[in-house]
Amino acid sequence: MALDGIVISNIVYELKNTLLGGRVNKIAQPEKDELLITIKGPDRGSYKLFLSAGAGMPLIYLTEKTKASPLTAPNFCMLLRKHLNNSKILDISQPGLERIVSIKLEHMDELGDLKIKYLIIELMGKHSNIIFCDDTMTIIDSIKRVNQFMSSIREVLPGREYFIPETTKKLDPLNINYSLFLSNILAMPQPIGKAIYKGITGISPLIANEICYRASIDAGESTSILNEDTGFHLYRNFDRLIQNVKDNEFSPHIIIGERGPVEFSSIPLKSYLKTGYEIKNFSTASAMLESYYARKNAASRMHQKSADLRKLVANAIERSSKKYDLQLKQLEDTEKKDKYKVYGELITSFGYGLEPNSKELIAENYHNNNEEIRIPLDPTMTPMENAKKYFERYNKLKRTFEALSSLIQETKDEINHLESIQSSLEIARDEDDLAELKHELMEYGYIKRKFNSGKTKTRDKSRKSSKSKPFHYISSDGYHMYVGKNNYQNEDLTFKLADGGDWWFHAKNIPGSHVIVKTGQDDLADKTFEEATRLAAYYSKGKDADKVEIDYTQRKNIKKPSGSKPGFVIYNTYYSTMADTDISDIKEII
């Protein structure tokens, strides 16, 4: 989710208590839309204030981490250093509950006179910006310059007046009474939750749903269902929540689901208390945001780093799928081969009585209960020449059928292999995982390999030195469970780590990870069995489905066909079951 006005209010309260009276010591611009400001606090402590105007993740929080900066500072950074080095922080404020933070600073100019400047951080998605203004609120410069061609609402350029654009007539939640709430929000003919966040500044859909939940009202219902009593009850819950914000009663926390953090907020989200989610509390809003976005940033960086590989694999799948469809169409055309064979045999059997220059043969088809059949003939050819022509067509289509059957299986195997790599890319966690997947793509010619006369030895060495390891879980019964991240690991787990009595799990007929449970015995504890099936379901192409069919058997029943691609196995003795994809309660060893 994005920052809302309530979380920003929490941040402003925190920054005021920490930074007021402090002095700017260093200013760095690690990225084109980021600032890292080091501040000597009034308590003589040192603090780092991180500001980001990134469209995807606009942020502001205190951090202890540093980021490498370019050797030559960008112009905006140099401008801030000129004006704000050793400046004193006089105030930090938020207009209403807007997603805006204004930092008021006092500095000494070249003549020794005290001057006031403002550093304004707008946290508004793709419209986010960091704007530097003088004491008359005239823009000196901004980290993103916005001209008239980029925005018809407001230019953000040196010399322009700074103002907050009022693109929508939203109410200020800090100054709203029941009458305004009733006339402006509840009168809007739309879902109740949407009416709240569309009509009130700083309220996100998450908070709007929370207000409805506290009032025991369905946020998706129309405002038309509300009467005077339910409308007032909804307002009272809204008012209590806003009063907590006014009183700075914050409780920053993250809601964690089976796949990691899903939401964060500075007020208690009662709607999540009974849903099985984990709630992780933080002492500060900065710690909450840094923790939440650290994971999100890691996932985003991995997504960016794997983009080329994902595109390469997707293109290869598309090409192979088109080839597969074409081959199937060509195979359909060979279905008439048996008809030509019958034509040839019937002409050979009954063509002796044909008149010269006959254009067809009418005969009883002894291949089909002696039904009458009409066979087209070339009148310029003898019956035997016509029969020979049909036999030649039959033999040509037969050869095509045999060749296509083999090619279609090869193409299908190639698609399955590529889809398994695609599935592995989705669960890759770090660069070591990507390196092993890139190695596999090179191995099978999807990425060009630099010439190496000893490439087989190099390949084996690179595999052995790989730092990528399978996922490792412990079942509730204490058994070790391993999950392959890619085809190489799947093969190693199944044929090197697992013994004959260990149990093997895999999603049925779709790409996915091999899951090995180290037991060495015929019986498997019910809880461990259930957890292993959920791992196999989650680490498969079907993980977004409610249920996934899972095959399971003992390792001794698994075979690898000679010459097959890594991770490909066959098995005849097995069982199947349905499993969900929730693995949030399964303990992972990292």
268, 302, 336 - which closes a domain: 302
- 157 lies in a domain? no
From 103, 120, 142, give the residue that closes a domain. Answer: 142
Based on the fold, state whether residues 194 and 213 are members of the same structural domain: yes
Q: Is residue 112 part of a domain?
A: yes
Same domain as 210, residue 273: yes
Q: How big is the CA angle at 362 (ends 356 and 364), to the nearest 5 degrees?
A: 135
pLDDT on residue 245: 95
- For residues 405 and 492, membership in a common domain is answered with no
Asked, for residue 359, whether it belongs to a domain, the answer is yes
> Is residue 531 located within the same domain as residue 583?
yes
Judgement on whether residues 503 and 541 belong to the same structural domain of the protein: yes
Q: Is residue 427 part of a domain?
A: no
Task: Identify the pLDDT of residue 274.
Answer: 67
Same domain, 283 and 191: yes
Q: Report if residue 567 sits inside a domain.
A: yes
pLDDT tens across the length of the chain (590 residues): 568 999 999 999 999 999 999 999 999 999 999 999 999 988 888 999 999 998 878 999 999 988 888 889 999 999 999 999 999 999 999 998 999 999 999 999 888 899 999 999 999 888 899 999 999 999 999 999 999 888 888 899 999 999 987 756 789 999 999 999 988 888 778 999 999 998 999 999 999 999 999 999 999 999 989 888 999 999 999 999 999 999 999 999 998 876 568 889 999 998 887 666 788 899 999 999 999 888 776 666 677 778 889 999 999 999 999 999 999 998 888 888 888 999 988 889 888 878 888 888 888 888 888 888 898 999 989 889 899 999 999 999 999 999 999 899 999 999 999 999 999 998 887 788 888 999 999 988 888 865 554 444 444 455 555 678 999 999 999 999 999 999 999 999 999 999 999 999 999 999 999 999 998 777 888 999 999 999 999 999 998 888 999 999 999 999 999 988 899 999 999 999 999 988 877 888 87
pTM: 0.60
Is the domain of 325 the same as that of 289? no
Q: Tell whether 11 and 129 lie within a shared domain.
A: yes
Residues 234 and 330 in one domain: no
Q: The domain that contains 116 carries what CATH number?
A: 2.30.310.10
Please indicate, yes or no, whether residues 220 and 335 belong to a single structural domain of this protein. no
Whether 322 and 293 share a structural domain? no
Residue 225's domain comprises 173-302
- Domain contains 238: yes
CA distance readout (Å), 460 to 280, 429, 439, 467, 562: 44, 23, 11, 14, 19
Residues 284 and 10: their CA atoms lie apart, in Å, by: 9
Tokens 């009183």, located at residue: 247
> Residue 424 domain-assigned?
no
The answer to whether residue 161 is domain-embedded is no
How many domains does the chain divide into?
A: 4
Q: What is the CATH number of the domain that holds 261?
A: 1.10.8
* 204 & 104 share domain: no
The closest of 579, 582, 581, 559 to 569, measured between CA atoms, is 559
**CA atoms of 224 and 203, how far apart (whole Å):** 21
Say how many C-beta atoms besides its own lie within 10 A of residue 531's C-beta.
25
As given in the structure block, the two tokens for residue 222 are: 């129309």
- Residue 122 phi/psi, 5-degree rounding, is -105, 120
